[in-house]
Structure formats: C-alpha cells, structure tokens
Amino acid sequence: MSLPPYARLLGVTLELVDDLPQIVMPFGQHVVGRPGFLQGGAIAGLLEVASVAALRHALAGETARIKPINGTVDFMRGGRDHVTRAAGEITRLGARVATVTAIAWQDDRARPIASARMNYLIERAGR
C-alpha cells in the first residue's frame, strides 16, 4: 500500500500491527499549532490517512476509488510533542458506501487524543 503525497508532508509512515495498518506521525514544527501542541488539522489529516489505509486494507487490493463524503472529528486531548499513532476500524463496508471510525493516540491507545467517523463513497472498478 502506498501513501499519498500529503502523507509524506505529514511525515507519517505505515506499520502493520497484528496485520492491521497503523499510521505513525512523529512530532515536528510542520505539524504544530499552538506552541508545543499538535494542530487540529494535522491530527485530522492523520485520522484521514489512517481511515483510508484501513479501507484500502479491507478492500485487499481490489481496484476502487475512495471519495470522502463527510466526517466528524472529535478532539479529546491536546496532542503533545510525542509520536502519534492512528488506526481506522471499518464500521461498515457496503457495495457503495463505507463508514470508518479512526482514533489517534500517543502513549496509551485507551486514552485517545482524537477520533473521527468518516463516510466514503466506494467506486469499484467495473460497476
């Protein structure tokens, strides 16, 4: 699975953990909002990359275009100057629409800094 140019701007990498994709984002000035904290947009971007990675993984190589319909991002805690990880979980993968819930965390996955629920239109090849 390759990540888009925007993922390279964020400086994220993809890791497979227990055979599921996780997106890892080191801290840096390029993702800072107020001093010492991650910008909400960078966290949202990380959640978006994790959501699409989870979908690509679930589609398992099937040729499909993934188009965002809408999404809601909840910010639970400030993102500090640590590595942030994010993973998406497929809530529903239908023929045309998929819903993904993603969370981002730093030290403890049980204490997420943000979550997102995203809806995507799936355009499968040949349909």
Partner 1 sequence: MDWDPTTITRYLLETPSVAGHGGRLGQHYHAHGDDWVEVAQPWHADLVGDEDSGLIASGPIIALMDIATSLAVWHRVRSFVAHATLDLRIDYLRPARPHQIVIGRGECLRITRSIAFTRGIAHDGDPDDPVAHVAATFMATAGHYPRVGA
Binding site for partner 1 (CB under 8 A): 4-6, 8-10, 29-34, 38-42, 44-46, 48-49, 52, 65-75, 78
**Quick one: 6 or 107, whose CB is closer to partner 1?**
6
Least CB distance to partner 1 at residue 8 (A): 7
Q: Are 22 and 86 a contacting pair, CB within 8 Å?
A: yes
Least CB distance to partner 1 at residue 84 (A): 13
DSSP structure class, residue 32: B
**Quick one: 26 or 33, whose CB is closer to partner 1?**
33
**Quick one: 9 or 17, whose CB is closer to partner 1?**
9
Least CB distance to partner 1 at residue 70 (A): 4
Which has the closest alpha carbon to 104: 85, 76, 126?
85
**Quick one: 18 or 53, whose CB is closer to partner 1?**
53
Least CB distance to partner 1 at residue 91 (A): 17
What is the DSSP annotation of 43-111?
HHHHHHHHHHHHHHHHHTT--EEEEEEEEEEEE-S---SS-EEEEEEEEEE-SSEEEEEEEEESS-TTS
Beta carbons within 10 angstroms of residue 102's beta carbon: 27
